Chains A and B, each alone.
Chain A
Amino acid sequence: MKNTTRNILAAAAAATSLFLAPGAIADPIKSIHFLIPGGPGGGWDGTARGTGEALNKAGLVDSVSFENMSGGGGGKAIAHLIETAEKAGSTLMVNSTPIVIRSLQKVFPQSFRDLTPVAGTIGDYAAIVVHKDSDLADFGALISKYKADAKSVAIGGGSVAGGMDHLVAAMVMQAAGANPTEVKYIPYDAGGKAMAGLLSGEINALSTGFGEAIELAKQGEVRILCVTSAERVDAAPDAPTCTEEGASVEFVNWRGFFAAPGISDAKKAEYVAALEKMYDTPEWETVRARNGWVNIFNADDDFITFLENQEEVLGKLMKELGFL
């Protein structure tokens, strides 16, 4: 649905620019400097470098450069971008859902409001997963077991207590009419280890990224009880959405880009346009397919509304759970 709208928009944009300036679609952006708040090899790093590569190869940006700046759970890079805002007109910082959570937790004093949100570009839904041999036949069984005795359902995840995976589990329970504060959440330091925990049988269910669960689900090692998407995902048509299962909830773990505070609207529009055009290029498709990313485009004002909404929902939940 979103895809079609975007195609039409892109086609319209292309047509207009053709009409205005025959021969050249638009001048490419001279340069983008990607600021990565973590070390090489992580998720942020891959997103920034992949996006930069696609933009550059597709001729949308003449030159791209990358800078890793880890520290403070991402706070160091945010502070740096704000401090150097005047000179950082061509800098885009990559970030994701944790920027909302960590600023609510006051890990760093700033929030997305102190930056210029440009666009969310890719995302992943969350999923509730159980072992293939689990006695929980479906989502309904999980909920009734949880409602009978919440302590008997250990739900693991790849983030700390109060982190994203915990919040998703609580959110789903709340939407299903159960008490979210009773979730017996078992934290692991990475998604892979949490999955190992589920397969070893020490936890009953797992709150994880859909993308991390899909292959093991295809191979029959785990079962996806529900996905936090609005509609069933093409990659797993058998996995029901949480809403279908009676827990009316949607959640997207997004990744996207932020510019320095105070950049001009024209500059911002330029970035948005470049990112939007990128989706239809074969160069982006190569990068996207290589990483198994899902296109979820959310730009400019829509992105800000989305962030505000996510902040409100998560903030309220975190207060209820006692994390704020």
Chain B
Amino acid sequence: MSKLVLKNVSRRYGTFKAVADFSLELAKGEFVSLLGPSGCGKTTTLRMIAGFAPPSTGTIEMDGQQISSPSGVVPPERRRMSMIFQSYAIWPNMTVGENVGFGLQVRKMSRAEIDRRVDAILDVVQMRNLKGRYPAELSGGQQQRVALARAIVVEPEVLLLDEPLSNLDANLREEMRFEIRRLHDEFKITTVYVTHDQSEAMVTSDRIVVMNKGRIEQVDAPHVLYGRPRSRFVAGFIGRTNFLEGTRNGSDVRFDGFTAPAVAVEGANGPGELLYSLRPQAVGLTTRKPGGPGLAVEAEITGRAYLGEYWDYQVRPLGGAKPIRVSTAPTSIFEVGSHAWLEINPAAIVRVE
């Protein structure tokens, strides 16, 4: 049975539709991210799951029981969930130990039991030695760990995270992503994670829900989302991509400067000009004509940028007008103006809407 089920949930503020027709099922122990630009409705969705807002239409169920509907909402304090807030919401008037122990205290556990569990979870997040400190004496990353410990120690049915890393600096953010995933692997708590950062979502999640303007664009595992984006929005939002216009011409699809067999290109069956996505990483760049199974297209280097981890080349097929962006290893160097060969795997060209 699914742990958490959202059925046709929507949320309106006046005439503005913050979330529209949102349906999703989470398996027990699954880690799902809601990913999208700010204002796309992901935080609103999370707050509906938490019980801070009722849905305008639709229902939310946990373990088969309805917890939210337009006519009534189980209040947040009775949902047995926990949440990590964007601001962490660590209470500055309580020590680390008191913060973490709060939820257990509410659950009327004995003092000794609370102590034992608090110490255990503080060990997990490596904060045991700071138990007596006040939050103002902690760094951002340490506060984040306290928030994690406080949320996990109560063994919630569902863990909700609202952009938990957005206030950290870049290095710490990277570290904490793995920390969150590690904790998930250890405790197997069903988790909904809201973020606007695609790499955060990709590192942590089993599945990613890409949202745009209150609607779901696509729900898939990270690698599928990247390799097989289904809409222009997803292709553009997750990573970088080339948008190519292609027209069906008999058994071929004709692109700007090259053609590909239609059978090899996914979704190339409609008439007229259609839009396709081709990831810069899916294209090879060689000095000699490649002998592999892919398409070989002779091209001219029109621009380049060195980004340390890779080269970002702009390469124009000789018969075409617009350059294609290609990422290569930092060791493969081509001069601007020189000729080279593109190696394109037609299966990497994906039709998008």
Q: Is chain B found bound to chain A in the same assembly? A: no
Q: Interface of B with A (CB < 8 Å)? A: none
The chain A residues found within 8 Å of chain B, CB to CB, are none
